[in-house]
Amino acid sequence: MNKQIILFCLMTLTGISAFAQKSLSIANPDTGKIKFRTVAEVGFISVLAHQIQLGENGTYFNYVKEGGQDVLFPTTRFSIEVDVNNRNTFILLYQPLRIETQAVLRTDVVFNDISFPASSGINCLYNFPFYRFSYLRELTKNKEKFNFAIGGSLQIRNATISFESTDGGLYTDNRGIGPVPALKLRSKLRLNKHFYSELEADGIYAPVSYLNGSDNEIVGAILDASLRFGADVNALTTMFLNIRYLGGGATGTDTGDVWPGDGYVRNWLNILNISAGFVLKL
């Protein structure tokens, strides 16, 4: 199953690259420019809903109600963007997402066939950073007032999820690295000479068994959507306020060599992210 997903992702990335090369080859050489931008933002996340199950016989655990994710957590986000010939944009993004909490369990819970008793303390780690490479093709010709671009992304997740009793007697985890292809769009509306708004989204819904023809029912989805309000400080710097929804997850069983547990995971997450940041043109 993993090999088929990787093959699907590579085919997606190959198609994006081929389209980018074709776009570059027919671009007007008189407008052939390369522009660089760095983007950084800092803020906080609020977990709207988050539930996870490790193992077919495991508890469908509510992180917000029982796992201590009912407060705000700091977050950052960094990216480098390259514009080529004014119509093509390549983006490399890094989004850390590390949530560490402690809680006292209200009821008995089970993860990977390990039972954590009620009224005991538990340490929860949800570490799910991702790296994303994206390509956008500008579709609008008159970009003074409005821009619209569409393309694709390839995201690499690097997950570590663990549960440990506060006395150190019980521990289990789930780890994984995997590629996730997604569609991408971005639009920008200039409100006046100094202010603008921008909408950006990466997302996909993937019934994997339908895509690869296997009998193993796995469903996955991601959506990273943001609304940004910005102001040009000077010719090289822009400041902005960003409101972002980040959600998704997966349900299914890993049929590879998994341990501990039976490989079944059900993990769905919904996050609201408020941040401020800047764009620096190089």
Q: For position 32, what pLDDT does the model report?
A: 52
Q: What is the pTM of this model?
A: 0.83
More confident: 252 or 135: 135
> Can you tell me the distance from the alpha carbon of 199 to that of 192, in angstroms, rounded to the nearest whole number?
17
Buried b (16+ CB within 10 A) or exposed e, 94-109: ebebebebebebeeeb
> Does position 107 have pLDDT exceeding 80, yes or no?
yes
Q: Which of 16-30, 134-148, 188-202 has the lowest mean pLDDT?
A: 16-30
Please state the φ and ψ torsions of residue 127, each to the nearest 5 degrees: -115, 110
What is the arithmetic mean of pLDDT over 263-280? Answer: 96
> Can you tell me the distance from the alpha carbon of 45 to that of 72, in angstroms, rounded to the nearest whole number?
6
**Residue (of 18, 38, 21, 12) closest to 152 by Cα position:** 12
Tens of pLDDT along 209-268? 544 444 556 788 999 999 999 999 999 999 999 999 999 999 988 776 677 778 899 999
Tens of pLDDT along 197-206? 999 999 999 7
> Does position 9 have pLDDT exceeding 90, yes or no?
no
Are 154 and 172 a contacting pair, CB within 8 Å? no
What is the percent of the chain with per-residue pLDDT over 90, rounded to a whole number? 72
> Can you tell me the distance from the alpha carbon of 262 to that of 113, in angstroms, rounded to the nearest whole number?
9
Q: For position 126, what pLDDT does the model report?
A: 97
What is the arithmetic mean of pLDDT over 106-133? Answer: 96
**For residue 148, what are its two tokens?**
């619209």
Q: Which of 47-51, 103-107, 181-185, 211-215 has the lowest mean pLDDT?
A: 211-215
Give the dihedral sign, CA 262/263/266/271: positive
Tens of pLDDT along 23-79? 444 444 444 589 999 999 999 999 999 999 999 999 999 999 999 999 999 999 999
SS3 content of the chain, % helix, strand, coil (to 5): 15, 60, 25
CA distances from 242 to 10, 25, 158, 228 (A): 31, 35, 25, 4
Q: Which domains does the chain have, with CATH numbers?
A: 2-26+34-281 (2.40.128)
